[in-house]
Amino acid sequence: MHPLEAEIRRRIALGGPMPVQQYMALCLSHPEHGYYTTRDPLGRAGDFITSPEISQMFGELIGLWAAALWHAMGEPQSLRLVELGPGRGTMMLDALRAAQVVPGFRAAVDVHLVETSPAMRAKQVQTLRKLDVPVTWHESFEEVPAGPIIVLANEFFDALPVRQAIKHFNGWYERMVLIDDAGNLAYGISNEPVPLIEHLLPEKLRDAPVATIFEWRPDNLVLEISRRLVRERGAGLVIDYGHTESAGGETLQALGNHAFADPLITPGEFDLTAHVDFQAFALSADSMGARRHGPVTQAQFLRSLGLENRAQALKNAAPQKAAEIEAAALRLTDESRTGMGSLFKVLGFGHPSLALPGFEG
């Protein structure tokens, strides 16, 4: 048995059933045995692959986006470029390389990485060693020092633990993880209904049928980032898969070795994620006075930032790689039902006076 499963069973035996949120948090970030704590899951040989790992074009376009935004912010002399959950550091490396064309931006930037996993931090140190800009690591966003700020997050929010409520005939109950009679990890429900859930539930779920599942994330981080963006005249970019409108339904999933698995089997060995509810996200940002842009699909966003031109320039520079570059551009913007171009959404949010590139038209 994986040491994390033993630990989860021990906690349930001692304290009773645990909320799905706590289960997910332990699976991903347990300080010794968590999925992210112990490994680098990214890349072709890993469990999943992300946009920056597919092509350098992704990070490069984000870098140019950030440089354009810095200009729109009035070219502050110092800028905190923050990334949440930077993975291998690839996006930041590509972003800053591309942004060399705007020397003022490069000179203003200091990089702040919010990363809890020691394994991923080690990767980031390696990747960003060559950079000539200061890089600081943080356990949480609150540690990032005050000042003009741009916040980036690709496939970060989907890894934050979700809470789940399930509708019964007499109300909504929290979904829990317990040990069933056969000795397996299984789902159950809380003894009491979820307090104050009516404030979280989208209108259309008020009369949802019995057994409907509703997922939500505590929004303190979104509120805190929004507050900073409004106070410091900055902006943020969230790229993730999710739904543009809050809805019922379970999206919690386990992914290992590029295939789906049962979230309750082999905790700690698979990545657990759940869709980002962009409507809930935007409402939280709004409530802090931030202006939101989009969400638009990843395909729309990358095209609007000039993916085609970028691909062409790379192909001209390395004609022998033309097919590979073309395939990567297609993959990032694939708009079929399960393609990254449509599944992934991009939401911008920031100070109300700022127009964000990439969301026009």
Tell me which residues touch ligand SAH (CB under 6 A).
28-29, 36, 42, 50, 52-53, 85-87, 91, 114-117, 120, 154-156, 159-160
Q: How far is CA 258 from CA 44, 85, 243, 330, in A?
A: 9, 20, 22, 19
Q: Of 307 and 354, which CB lies nearer to ligand SAH in the complex structure? A: 307
Q: Of 260 and 352, which CB lies nearer to ligand SAH in the complex structure? A: 260
Q: Of 201 and 235, which CB lies nearer to ligand SAH in the complex structure? A: 235
Instruction: Name the residue with the smallest CB distance to ligand SAH.
Output: 85
Whole-angstrom distance, CA of residue 271 vs CA of residue 248: 22
Q: Of 90 and 164, which CB lies nearer to ligand SAH in the complex structure? A: 90
Q: Please report how close the Cβ of residue 156 comes to ligand SAH at its closest, in angstroms.
A: 5
Q: Of 29 and 190, which CB lies nearer to ligand SAH in the complex structure? A: 29
Q: Please report how close the Cβ of residue 321 comes to ligand SAH at its closest, in angstroms.
A: 21
Q: Please report how close the Cβ of residue 132 comes to ligand SAH at its closest, in angstroms.
A: 22
Whole-angstrom distance, CA of residue 269 vs CA of residue 27: 8
Q: Please report how close the Cβ of residue 37 comes to ligand SAH at its closest, in angstroms.
A: 8
Q: Please report how close the Cβ of residue 159 comes to ligand SAH at its closest, in angstroms.
A: 4
